[in-house]
Amino acid sequence: MKRKLRFRFNLKSKHLLVILTLICLTFLAVSFTKGIGPDSLKEAAGFVVIPFQKTIMSINTSFQTAMQTRREKRELVYENQDLKAQVQTLTDQNNRLIQDQYELQELQSLYNLDQDYADYEKVAARIISKDPGNWYHTFIINKGSSDGIRVDNNVISGKGLVGIVTETGSHWATVKAIIDDSSHVSAMTVSTGDNCTVSGDLTLIGEGKLRFEQLYDVSNKVTVGERIVTSNISDRYVEGLFIGYVSEVMADTNNLTKTGTIVTPVDFRHLRDVFVITVNKQDLFNED
Amino acid sequence: MKSRIILFITIVLTFMLQTTLVQRISIGSIEPNLVLIFVACTGILRGRKSGMWVGFFSGLLIDMFYGSLFGFYALIYVYIGFFSGYSHRMFYDDDAKVYLLTVFGSDMLFNFAVYGLQFLLRGRLSLGSYLVHIIIPEVFYTTFLTLIVYRIFYFINYHLMKPVKKESESVWVIK
């Protein structure tokens, strides 16, 4: 008698599969129409996962540095002697470089690139985890909306453009790298100011390259080594962020536009510290 | 109940390891997929239903932080959990051939699903180069890693959780 009263809900695995599939499809449909996922759920999950990721990453880093310091200690003594000798030659060189610096400043104003990185407000952040799998290149940084980071903020490293913020939690933010296969950046060449689109390509990532398309360059002035920066007409990237150097140029079959590849100076595999520019391009529009 | 809690902790732990430490052991920018190994192993060790639940929650965690579409990875991992659960029904779980082949097949399924649904539909047609650069290296690295971590999941299943009765899933028992 007792057994009969007990309510047993025995779900067959086939039915469970259908139910879970339907749930996932509902999520997909909602995220198609309303953007990515429920915010409160994300915030809760971030509250649990992010601190652990931060600790794992910092333990890992400190372990590595501890190993390195032991190894480097001996090398440092020898290096110090060499370096002292080098200091003298370098001071000499430095004097010459200071002169070059003045020249560079003049050239930069010529290039109309006076809007340097230094002009934008930045927040330093550290990468704490990377996406699982090899198909996409997104990562999480340890600063979030409470540090003033918003969606569409540009992310740079000391060398050049890294990516763009796609999601924020209160103490974390997801960044999509420019080498990600679904990333597109509106860019321009420095010397001629021609516009093109720079997009990530999974097949080129191994070589540290990006692809650019639709470069309109009838006078054939763009050559290998040309500097590519973010363009003035981009609506998500602020102007003048360095992307990379042109490494290949090919004319399209239409004879009007060109495509090719760009070498990026950023080492995405060993990237650890980045800067987030907390000014969005849209803010700049609103100010005007 | 205890088994469920341990399963849930392992899901979160695997996810965190995958996103932090696994990238350190990547070879030539290819990293193995620990989350997938865990989902497939749960399927082998505990059957289709557990495999599906683990796949669902692992996928949801990934979607929450990294997915461009919410629910995409959850959907793929649910199916991986389901199909690897057939190994539980048909084979013994301590045979190396079984778990290696199951993970191999699951990873193939996973990579082709990601390629087919997110790359092919965007007009990236060069399957050959994706196969050579991403899919095959990842599948082999993941299968290799399974050799090592399967024992850990095996231990968790038999020593920390209540093992599932195999007969209840058997085709020969009339339900």
Q: What would the pLDDT profile of A135-171 be if each residue is shown by its tens digit?
A: 888 999 988 889 889 888 999 887 789 999 988 888 8
Closest CA to B111 of B80, B135, B145: B135
pTM higher than 0.80 for the full model?
Answer: no
Mean residue pLDDT across chain A: 82
Q: Which pair of structure tokens corresponds to residue A26?
A: 């509902």
Nearest to A13 among B49, B67, B126 (CB): B49
Averaged pLDDT for residues A264-276: 86
Does B173 fall in a domain? no
Contact (CB<8Å) B64/A11: no
Q: What pLDDT is recorded for position A8?
A: 58
Q: Indicate the pLDDT class of residue A113, thresholds 50, 70 and 90.
A: very low
Q: What would the pLDDT profile of A87-96 be if each residue is shown by its tens digit?
A: 878 887 887 8
Q: Which pair of structure tokens corresponds to residue B73?
A: 């990875």
Query: Domains in chain A, please, with CATH?
Result: 36-110 (no CATH), 117-288 (2.40.10.340)
Task: Report residue A131: phi and psi, to 5°.
Answer: -70, 150
Q: Between chain A and chain B, how many beta carbons pairs sit less than 8 Å apart?
A: 150
Handedness of CA B89, B94, B100, B101 (dihedral sign): negative
Closest CA to B134 of B154, B110, B100: B110
Dihedral in degrees, nearest 10, Cα atoms A206, A209, A210, A212: -140
The one-character DSSP state at A170 is: S
Q: What would the pLDDT profile of B110-133 be if each residue is shown by its tens digit?
A: 999 999 988 888 888 888 888 988
**Could you tell me which residues are beta bridge partners of residue A260?**
A212, A249
CA A8 to chain centre: 51
Closest CA to A60 of B22, B119, B6, B174: B22
The secondary structure element, H or E, covering residue A61 is helix A39-110
Q: What would the pLDDT profile of B61-106 be if each residue is shown by its tens digit?
A: 888 888 778 889 999 999 999 999 988 888 888 888 999 999 999 9
Averaged pLDDT for residues A44-64: 81
Handedness of CA B96, B97, B98, B104 (dihedral sign): positive
Q: What pLDDT is recorded for position B141?
A: 93
Contact (CB<8Å) A27/B63: yes
Contact (CB<8Å) B29/A42: no
CA B131 to chain centre: 20
Nearest to B70 among A27, A134, A166 (CB): A27
Contact (CB<8Å) A206/B133: yes
How far does A277 lie from chain B, in Å, by closest CA?
21
3-state DSSP call for residue A107? helix
The one-character DSSP state at B164 is: P
Q: What is the CB-side half-sphere exposure of residue A46 using CA atoms within 13 A?
A: 24
Does B172 fall in a domain? no
Nearest to A16 among B52, B65, B111 (CB): B52
Q: What pLDDT is recorded for position B83?
A: 92
Q: What pLDDT is recorded for position B145?
A: 93
Q: Indicate the pLDDT class of residue B32, thresholds 50, 70 and 90.
A: very high
pLDDT for residue A279 is more than 70: yes
Q: What pLDDT is recorded for position A118?
A: 61
Nearest to B70 among A37, A46, A57 (CB): A37
Residue B19 φ/ψ region, left for φ over 0, alpha for ψ in the -120 to 50 degree band, beta for the rest: alpha
Nearest to B24 among A42, A60, A133 (CB): A60
Chain B residues closer than 8 Å to A52 by CB: 12, 16
pLDDT for residue A288 is more than 70: no
Best probe of the B interface among A48, A129, A137, by most B CBs < 10 A, is A129
Does B169 fall in a domain? no
Q: What pLDDT is recorded for position B33?
A: 92
The one-character DSSP state at B27 is: B
For B128, the domain range is 2-22+30-163
Contact (CB<8Å) A132/B47: no
3-state DSSP call for residue A135? coil
Angle at A243 between CA A237 and CA A248, to 5 degrees: 130
More confident residue, B38 or A71: B38
Averaged pLDDT for residues A37-52: 76
Which stretches does DSSP call E strand in chain A? 122-130, 138-141, 154-156, 161-168, 173-177, 184-189, 195-199, 209-216, 227-230, 242-251, 257-263, 273-277
Q: What pLDDT is recorded for position B172?
A: 54
Rounded CA separation B60/A44 (Å): 13
Does B39 fall in a domain? yes
Contact (CB<8Å) B29/A269: yes
Q: Which pair of structure tokens corresponds to residue A118?
A: 């230094």
User: How many domains is chain B built from?
Assistant: 1
Q: Indicate the pLDDT class of residue B175, thresholds 50, 70 and 90.
A: very low
**Could you tell me which residues are beta bridge partners of residue A259?**
A250
Does B8 fall in a domain? yes
Chain A residues closer than 8 Å to B82 by CB: 13, 17
Regarding an ipTM greater than 0.85, the answer is: no
Q: What would the pLDDT profile of A181-237 be if each residue is shown by its tens digit?
A: 888 999 988 888 888 999 988 888 878 889 998 888 777 888 888 888 888 888 888
Contact (CB<8Å) A21/B68: no
CATH number for the domain spanning B146: value is 1.10.1760
CA B91 to chain centre: 18
Best probe of the B interface among A134, A141, A174, A213, by most B CBs < 10 A, is A134
H-type alpha helices, B21-174 = 34-46, 48-65, 72-90, 96-114, 127-130, 136-155
pLDDT for residue A48 is more than 80: no
The fraction of chain B above a pLDDT of 70, given in percent, is 94
Q: What pLDDT is recorded for position A204?
A: 84
3-state DSSP call for residue B53? helix
Q: Which pair of structure tokens corresponds to residue B101?
A: 């082949």
Nearest to A133 among B33, B85, B122 (CB): B33
A180 near A191, Cβ under 8 Å? no
Contact (CB<8Å) B65/A140: yes
Does B34 fall in a domain? yes
